[in-house]
């Protein structure tokens, strides 16, 4: 199923929330603009393909390795 075009402001907020959580879990972790953009695009693609709920679930459950 294809969902509506993701709300870019909401995707930016989800990305910021994920980066903030990763930074709290590992204070020595920093994100380059390229890495941040890749996270944004990952969240955007998940939203686009599976919907907002799955994008939010990804942000809640994602782990950094």
All structural domains of the chain with their residue ranges: 8-61
**11 in Cβ contact with 54 (< 8 Å):** no
| Residues 5-63 pLDDT 10s | 788 999 999 999 999 999 998 888 888 999 999 999 999 999 999 999 999 999 999 88
**54 in Cβ contact with 47 (< 8 Å):** yes
pTM comes to: 0.86
DSSP H stretches of helix in 1-65:
8-25, 33-50, 52-61
CA distance 36 to 27: 16
């Amino acid at each position: 199923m294809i969902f509506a075009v993701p709300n870019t402001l909401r995707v930016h907020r989800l990305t910021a929330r994920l980066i903030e959580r990763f930074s709290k879990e590992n204070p020595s972790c920093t994100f380059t603009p390229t890495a941040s953009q890749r996270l944004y695009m990952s969240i955007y693609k998940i939203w686009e393909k599976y919907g907002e709920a799955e994008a939010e679930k990804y942000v809640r459950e994602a782990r950094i390795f």
